[in-house]
Structures are given as structure tokens and as C-alpha cells.
């Protein structure tokens, strides 16, 4: 089955929607800045927050969203709304739709804000119910009508990529005619502090794949893709934007928070995706790497890329220097960026790269204005516990 | 294609890693009971065990026990469902951050707070590089994991899978959910009795006494949709709804929730035998894993020799519904 992408939606520090995202990537302007949306003793830490406050996000959605809600759900709604409209679902609704979302933080933004109230009084009890991941997905999607299947994946930073894989399998096994897949995650004090205790937050703007890299900056955002078979897209009169050509997930099975030296899990995921797409390493034009900017990830991922693509290393960049690490949403945020790369035949640069990592055979993209043909893009998402997923998007050709 | 249950293991508020609940059930009348722990020394070295939350230790113990009882040594996939994830460590980190401030936080609680710590710790323990996934969606977390596993077989991606359902219930989280009236305050009133769940199943395509014939998750289904999905699931297995011999119903004693089960059974299975499991095992987000465990055990036993096809039906707040179809081979 040829699985087509017929709609995309995105919100991140780069802005809202495909145009803003593309323009921001082309302009090569960093969106990394000190934290604004919540109080923390680490407010000097840099991050890539979505510009809008919760109130502004609610206003964008027409103002009729009632509390209790969570920032993860609000970001999700903004992205879902775009994808939903692009795929013309309202106009021509297929007979069955799945909504699969990835998140790990879920409603933690409100839980951490009201935790004392939860314990001491009954003034914020409604936010106890919005804490879990599944509730956030339901709040994101419910206003869009009937979903036949709805579930939530929580595999930390590979969550949204795994949602894409599940969606594809739901289509292939005939369970639904359409799958809306992706993820949403807001920055919380909880995971900001968590990453901080792991000492993997860079105090400077992050520098993925640079020899001087010193960690990641957290980002937030949401992105969703509408997946359906070519047959379904043509039947509904919607033009496929590209195809999901292949995908794989594998486990590094090495350490809860660190990647193995040789990037075993990453290698397996990328190789599995190539096999599933029936493509050779030389067919990949561009890899949107996981590239968090941590010392460990970029070396491990770089080694895995060097091994798998030996002799044919494609253009590689991490766009996390723009978006920050949008954690559970990064798989779909970067899937959207990969789709834009195909659509515009452009290579997103690896911002702030200066010096190649010792031991790696490649340097990432630094020139966005090259004349290139981008037909096959691989995008990587690696989560805690060595949960490694790789997706391949390819240019759509009819038939 | 067939997906067969090779083995299973459980840790819950009944005696652990055995089926003593059948003949010597542990009876509870308190709304909050913790699981009966097994001896983890047999599975995890004490130094590692000290760093692990209860949910992780239980998940490893049931996974290893189930694998040992099967022909599968290295599963092609490890998939877990957990409604709340590692809530004990989440609470510890959240509580330290809220009460003591952001200055002195320790990474261990954070590292072990992430939902997919369960699937990844099991994979690290087994050195399993296969497909690894984690579902966290309220009362259908386990069934989502099971559906994913089922599709891994359908698409030919896996020939074996280790599927788990895990939820711990800390005193703190019990108290929070109590504020939302999850738990029973008086006999006959609303709310359920809480339980804790750690169940692992080894599935493979090798024929065994019990087949996993289908699994469906539904979101706010109407009666018509329930009928359509139930019929379709049966048809894919080559049977009709009328061929289902018994229903394992997720009745929890919560009067409001139980009305949904009454309506379902009344509409689709008015004259079929009904079984329940939550009276013995309590309610948890992944309690349906326990329902499947109990149904599988009964099909394997000789206590109900006439049962051929059984359905496990559960719902969560009448929003998330699930169907698991098991067949005796």
C-alpha cells in the first residue's frame, strides 16, 4: 500500500503553519531565547518556546476552549486544525479515522502548577484528571468529531515518530481509512529540571554536530500528519503531498538515558527504514537527524550514519538549533520539516555548525541555497531507553 | 496468520507469579490494597533493584517469568501499556521540585519517571533490540499495546512479542484519584476498589492452546458502531457474534460504570455466561490485561471445557472501550 501524506500541521518556535516554518528555516534565524512562559529558577536557560501564551492559543482556536485544558492539548489543537483543513477532512470525511498522538509530558504543566492544591485543598481537582497522556490526546482531538481509534504513544523523544509508524500499520491492516498521527509537547518545569539534573542542557544556543556542542535546548510544539492510502486520497480528490515510504523502530538496549558508542539502535532503525522502503543508502538525499546537540547523541548517531551510509553519506542536518528539542513532538515536527524539504527541494541548514566532530566522516549542511533535488528524506527520532525510530518520506509520483 | 498466547505471568493484589487466585483467592474489602510482591532477588540484583520503582521490578519479574514458561527466548517486539507510567518516581520528582525547590533535584527519579522506562528496562534486561513501544492512554493502554502487537504479526514484522500491562497505585495517587471519586467510599456506592497490575504475555505465531483472535479499541462508540466493530472482529476470525460463548466483563462494582456493561451484555450477549475479574484484582488503568490473563487461564483449564470463543470487554468512563477475543485451539 502506498501511504500518502495529504495534510500537515505544525506549531513550534518557528511559528504556526507550513509557510512560517519554511520561512523561518530559510531565514536561518535562531529562535532560541530565555524562558518566558513559566517561573523557574532556571529562567536563564535557553529554550525554543512557542511564542503564544495559552490564552493566545485559545483565542486562535476561536476562544471557546474551556478550562481545564493543558498546553500540550492547546498546541496539539493548533497543529491538528491545520492538518485537518489541509486534508479537507471536513469536506470529505473518510469512513473511519484514527487519531494517534505522542506525548510524555501530557498535562504535567498544570500538575506542577497546582500540585500543592492537589494535596492541600480541592480548588484544582479538575486538573488531576488532565494529568495523564491519554486525556491530553482526547482533549486535542475531540472537537474534530468522530474518531474510530484513538490512542497515545509515550516513548519520550521518539513518541511522535512511533505514532507515524502505528498509523501506517493501522492503514496497512485495513483498520482505518485515514490516520492522523504526530505528537504534542509543551515545556514544563518537570522535564526542564529533569534534563538539567542529567546535565545535558547547553547554557548557550545548542550546536548539533559541532565539535564544541555541549547539550540541548528544550523546545515545544506539536505537529500532525494526515496519512491515507493513495486510493483514498484520489477518491477524496485530495492531492498527496508525499509518501511515507518506509519506517522502522529498534531498541538500542544499552542504557536508559545514553546511546551506545557505535549507535547500534540508530543503525538498526535507519537500516530497517531503508529495507521497509526498498531503498539503498545512496537513494537518500537528506537526513534530518535526531541531532540533539548532546555530546553522546550526536557522536553515536553520527557513527551510525557513517557506518550505514559509508561511501554515500547524504546531506545531513539537525534542525534542533532552530526548534529546540521538542521531545515527544520532535518526530512529527521534523517529519513536517522533511516534507517541506521535498516540497521545496531545499536543505535546512544545521545552524551554528563550525567544526566537525572528530571521528565523523561528514559535516552537516551549512548552505540552504544549493540547487538540489530532494526526493527521499530520512528523519530520525531517538528516545530515552534507546527507543530509536527512523522514517522515510519520498516524493509522490502518481500510480 | 495466527497469534497465540504462549505464556503469561502476573503480579497483582493476588498471590504473585502463580494462579492461586483460582482456588485460594486473597479477599479484600478495603478500597486500597497494594500488590503482593514476589522475591525480586531471583530476577534483579539487589543494587539495581534499589534504584527501580515497584512498577519496574514487577514488569521485569513478570516478563522473565512468562518468557521462561514459553519457547521464546528473545521476542521480536516488546510492547507495554501503562496508564500512568512510573508514577512513583514521577511523584517523587514532582514532590521534591514542588516542596523543596529546583536546587537539589536528583536525576534518578526523573530517569525512572518516563513511561517507556518499563519497555526499555525490559529490553535492556533481555538485550532485546527488536521493536519497542509504549502506550499510555487511560483505560485502553494495554489493549493499545496488544493491538500494536497483533499488527506486528499481521504485517509480518514479528513472529513473537512480549506484551505487558503495568500500573502501580501509590498512596499519593490513590488519594488524588479519590478526589475524583474513582474509589469506593461505601458498599453499593459509586467508585471501584483499586488494584495494581503487572501482567506479561508472550505471544508467537506457534500454535498454542489459546489464540488471540482479535483486539479492538474504540473511542466513544455508539451502539451501532460497537455492533459493527464487534461483528467485523468476529468475521475476520471467521465466526459470528453468536459463536462467542462467554464474556469477561470489566465490572468493577462502580454502579455507574457497571450500567454500561449491563447494556452491552443485554444487547449483544443476553444469554451468555459472564465472568468478572476486578473483584479479585481491583481496578487499574491496565486492569484489562488482568481480564485477558484470567480468560486465558480459564480456557487452558478443564473447568469450562465447552468454552471455545470468549470476549473480554472493558470500558473506561464510557469513553475508551476495548474488545479482546480469545479462542481455544
Count the neighbouring beta carbons within 10 Å of the beta carbon of residue A395: 18
The DSSP letter of residue A90 is: T
How far apart CA A292 and CA A298 sit, in angstroms, is: 7
Q: Which residue of A has its CA nearest to B52?
A: A256
What letters, b where the CB count within 10 A reaches 16 and e where it falls short, cover A196-226? bbbebbbeebbbbbbeebbbbbbbbbbbbbb
Contact B83 A384 (CB under 8 A): no
Is the C-alpha dihedral spanning B237, B243, B248, B251 positive or negative? Answer: positive
CB pair distance less than 8 Å for A189 and B78:
no
Put simply, the answer to whether B120 touches A153 (Cβ < 8 Å) is no
> pLDDT digit string (tens) for B208-235?
999 999 999 999 999 999 999 999 999 9
The pLDDT value given to residue B1: 80
Q: Which residues of A are less than 8 Å from B74 in CB distance?
A: none
Kindly report the nearest CA distance between residue A93 and chain B, in angstroms. Answer: 16
The interface predicted TM-score of the complex, written ipTM, equals: 0.98
pLDDT band for position A371 (cuts 50, 70, 90): confident
Intrachain domains A3-236 and A248-394 with the same fold: yes
User: What are the start and end residues of each CATH 3.40.47.10 domain in chain B?
Assistant: 4-204, 210-328
Is-above-0.90 flag for pTM? Answer: yes
Q: Has residue A399 got a pLDDT over 80?
A: no
Q: Note the pLDDT tens digit of each residue in B239-274.
A: 999 999 999 999 999 999 999 999 999 999 999 999
pLDDT digits 0-9 by tens, A299-351: 999 999 999 999 999 999 999 999 999 999 999 999 999 999 999 999 999 99
The per-residue pLDDT for B189 is 83
Name the average pLDDT for chain A: 97
Confidence check: pLDDT of A368 > 90: no
Return the residue in B101, B107, B113, B174 with the most chain A beta carbons within 10 A, the one to mutate for interface testing.
B107
CB contact under 8 A, B179 and A387: no
Domain spans of chain A, in order of start: 3-236, 248-394
The phi, psi pair for A186, rounded to 5°, reads: -100, 160
> Quick one: average pLDDT of A19-27?
97
Percentage, residues of chain B above pLDDT 70:
100
pLDDT, tens digit (0-9, with 9 covering 90-100), for B43-56: 999 998 988 999 99
Q: Which of A169, A252, A385 faces B119 most closely, judged by CB atoms?
A: A385
Distance from CA of B143 to the nearest CA of A (A): 10
Q: What percent of chain A has pLDDT over 70?
A: 100
Count, residues in chain B: 329
Which residue in this structure is represented by grid cell 485477558?
Answer: B292
| Residue-averaged pLDDT of chain B | 97
- Average of pLDDT values for A106-130? 97
Distance CA B328, CA B307 (A): 7
Q: Per-residue pLDDT tens for A325-335?
A: 999 999 999 99
Domain A248-394 -> CATH class: alpha beta
The answer to whether the Cα torsion of B136, B140, B146, B148 is positive or negative is negative
**Residue B124 in contact with residue B98, Cβ under 8 Å?**
no
For the packed helices A108-120 and B87-100, what is the interaxial angle rounded to 10 degrees? Answer: 70
Assigned architecture for domain B4-204: 3-Layer(aba) Sandwich (3.40)
B130 vs A251: CB contact, 8 Å cut-off?
Answer: yes
Rounded to a whole number of angstroms, the distance from the CA of A347 to the nearest CA of chain B is 30
What CA–CA distance (Å, rounded) separates A177 from A121? 46
Percent of chain B with pLDDT over 90: 96
Is A152–B98 a contact, with Cβ atoms under 8 angstroms apart? no
Report the residue of A117, A124, A132 to disrupt the B interface, i.e. the one with the largest count of B CBs within 10 Å.
A132
Residue B24 predicted with pLDDT over 80? yes
Q: Do A112 and B98 touch (CB under 8 A)?
A: yes
Q: Provide the 10 A C-beta neighbour count for residue A6.
A: 24
Per-residue model confidence as pLDDT tens digits over A229-238? 999 999 999 9
Task: Look at residue A83 in the predicted model and tell me its pLDDT.
Answer: 98
DSSP-based three-state secondary structure for A300: helix
Residues in chain A closer than 8 A to B121 (CB atoms): 256, 385
Average pLDDT over residues B192-214: 98
**Domain A3-236 carries which CATH code?**
3.40.47.10
CATH topology of domain B210-328: Peroxisomal Thiolase; Chain A, domain 1 (3.40.47)
Q: Residue A44 pLDDT more than 80?
A: yes
Residues of A in contact with B179 (CB under 8 A): 118, 122, 125, 128
- Which pLDDT does position B310 carry in this prediction? 98
Task: Check residue B32 and give its pLDDT.
Answer: 95
Minimum mean pLDDT range among A193-207, A291-305, A334-348, A366-380: A366-380
**B102·A41 Cβ contact <8 A:** yes
Chain B nearest C-alpha distance from A346 (Å): 32
Q: Give the model's pLDDT for residue A62.
A: 95
Amino acid at each position: 500500500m502506498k501511504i500518502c501524506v495529504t495534510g500537515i500541521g505544525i506549531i513550534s518556535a518557528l511559528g504556526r503553519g507550513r509557510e512560517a516554518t519554511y520561512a523561518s528555516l530559510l531565514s536561518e534565524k535562531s529562535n532560541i531565547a530565555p524562558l518566558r512562559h513559566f517561573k523557574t529558577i532556571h529562567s536563564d536557560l535557553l529554550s525554543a518556546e512557542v511564542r503564544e501564551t495559552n490564552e493566545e492559543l485559545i483565542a486562535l482556536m476561536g476562544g471557546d476552549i474551556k478550562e481545564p485544558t493543558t498546553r500540550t492539548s492547546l498546541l496539539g489543537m493548533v497543529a491538528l486544525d491545520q492538518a485537518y483543513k489541509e486534508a479537507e477532512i471536513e469536506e470529505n470525511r473518510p469512513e473511519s479515522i484514527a487519531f494517534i498522538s505522542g506525548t510524555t509530558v501530557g498535562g504535567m504543566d498544570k500538575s506542577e502548577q497546582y500540585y500543592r492544591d492537589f494535596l492541600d485543598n480541592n480548588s484544582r481537582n479538575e486538573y488531576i484528571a488532565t494529568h495523564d497522556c491519554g486525556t491530553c490526546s482526547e482533549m486535542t482531538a475531540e472537537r474534530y468529531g468522530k474518531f474510530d481509534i484513538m490512542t497515545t504513544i509515550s516513548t519520550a523523544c521518539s513518541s511522535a515518530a512511533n505514532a507515524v509508524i502505528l498509523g501506517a500499520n493501522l492503514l496497512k491492516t485495513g483498520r482505518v481509512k485515514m490516520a492522523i498521527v504526530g505528537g504534542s509537547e509543551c515545556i514544563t518545569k518537570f522535564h526542564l529540571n529533569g534534563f538539567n539534573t542529567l546535565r545535558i542542557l547547553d547554557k548557550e544556543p545548542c550546536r548539533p554536530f559541532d565539535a564544541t556542542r555541549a547539550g540541548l535546548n528544550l523546545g515545544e510544539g506539536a505537529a500532525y500528519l494526515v496519512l491515507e492510502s493513495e486510493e483514498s486520497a484520489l477518491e477524496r480528490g485530495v492531492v498527496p503531498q508525499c509518501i511515507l515510504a518506509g519506517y522502522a523502530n529498534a531498541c538500542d538496549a544499552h542504557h536508559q538515558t545514553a546511546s551506545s558508542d557505535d549507535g547500534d539502535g540508530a543503525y538498526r532503525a535507519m537500516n530497517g527504514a531503508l529495507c521497509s522502503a526498498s531503498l539503498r543508502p545512496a537513494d537518500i538525499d537528506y537526513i534530518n537527524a535526531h541531532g540533539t546537540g548532546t555530546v553522546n547523541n550526536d557522536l553515536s548517531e553520527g557513527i551510525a550514519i557513517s557506518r550505514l551510509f559509508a561511501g554515500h553519506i547524504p546531506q545531513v542536518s539537525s534542525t534542533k538549533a532552530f526548534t529546540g528539542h521538542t521531545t515527544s513532538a520532535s518526530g512529527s515536527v521534523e517529519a513536517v520539516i522533511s516534507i517541506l524539504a521535498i516540497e521545496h527541494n531545499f536543505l535546512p541548514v544545521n545552524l551554528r555548525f563550525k567544526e566537525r566532530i572528530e571521528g565523523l566522516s561528514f559535516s552537516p549542511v551549512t548552505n540552504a541555497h544549493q540547487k538540489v533535488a530532494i526526493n527521499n528524506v530520512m528523519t530520525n527520532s531517538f528516545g530515552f531507553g534507546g527507543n530509536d525510530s527512523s522514517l522515510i518520506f519520498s516524493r509522490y509520483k502518481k500510480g | 496468520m495466527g497469534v497465540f498466547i504462549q505464556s503469561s505471568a502476573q503480579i497483582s493484589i493476588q498471590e504473585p507469579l502463580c494462579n492461586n487466585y483460582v482456588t485460594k483467592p486473597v479477599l479484600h474489602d478495603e478500597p486500597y490494597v497494594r500488590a503482593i510482591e514476589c522475591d525480586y532477588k531471583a530476577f534483579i540484583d539487589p543494587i539495581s533493584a534499589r534504584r527501580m520503582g515497584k512498577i519496574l521490578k514487577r514488569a521485569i519479574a513478570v516478563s522473565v517469568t512468562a518468557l521462561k514458561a514459553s519457547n521464546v527466548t528473545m521476542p521480536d517486539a516488546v510492547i507495554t501499556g501503562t496508564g500512568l507510567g512510573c508514577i512513583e518516581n514521577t511523584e517523587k520528582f514532582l514532590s521534591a521540585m514542588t516542596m523543596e525547590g529546583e536546587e537539589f533535584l536528583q536525576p534518578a527519579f526523573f530517569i525512572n519517571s518516563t513511561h517507556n522506562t518499563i519497555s526499555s528496562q525490559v529490553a535492556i534486561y533481555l538485550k532485546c533490540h527488536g521493536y519497542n513501544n509504549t502506550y499510555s492512554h487511560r483505560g485502553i493502554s494495554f489493549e493499545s499495546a496488544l493491538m500494536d502487537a497483533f499488527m506486528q504479526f499481521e504485517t509480518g514484522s514479528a513472529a513473537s512479542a512480549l506484551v505487558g500491562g503495568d500500573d502501580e497505585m501509590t498512596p499519593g495517587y490513590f488519594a488524588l484519584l479519590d478526589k475524583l471519586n474513582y474509589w469506593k467510599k461505601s458498599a453499593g456506592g459509586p467508585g471501584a476498589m483499586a488494584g495494581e497490575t503487572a501482567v506479561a504475555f508472550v505471544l508467537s505465531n506457534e500454535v498454542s492452546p489459546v489464540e488471540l483472535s482479535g483486539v479492538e479499541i474504540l473511542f466513544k462508540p455508539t451502539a451501532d458502531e460497537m455492533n459493527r466493530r464487534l461483528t467485523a472482529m468476529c468475521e475476520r476470525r471467521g465466526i459470528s457474534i453468536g459463536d462467542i460463548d462467554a464474556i469477561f466483563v470489566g465490572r468493577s462494582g462502580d454502579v455507574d460504570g457497571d450500567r454500561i456493561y449491563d447494556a452491552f451484555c443485554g444487547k449483544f450477549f443476553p444469554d451468555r455466561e459472564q465472568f468478572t475479574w476486578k473483584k479479585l484484582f481491583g481496578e487499574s488503568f491496565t486492569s484489562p490485561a488482568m481480564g485477558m490473563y484470567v480468560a486465558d487461564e480459564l480456557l487452558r483449564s478443564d473447568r469450562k471445557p465447552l468454552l471455545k470463543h470468549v470476549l473480554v470487554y472493558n470500558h473506561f468512563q464510557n469513553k475508551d472501550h476495548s474488545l479482546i477475543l480469545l479462542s481455544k485451539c
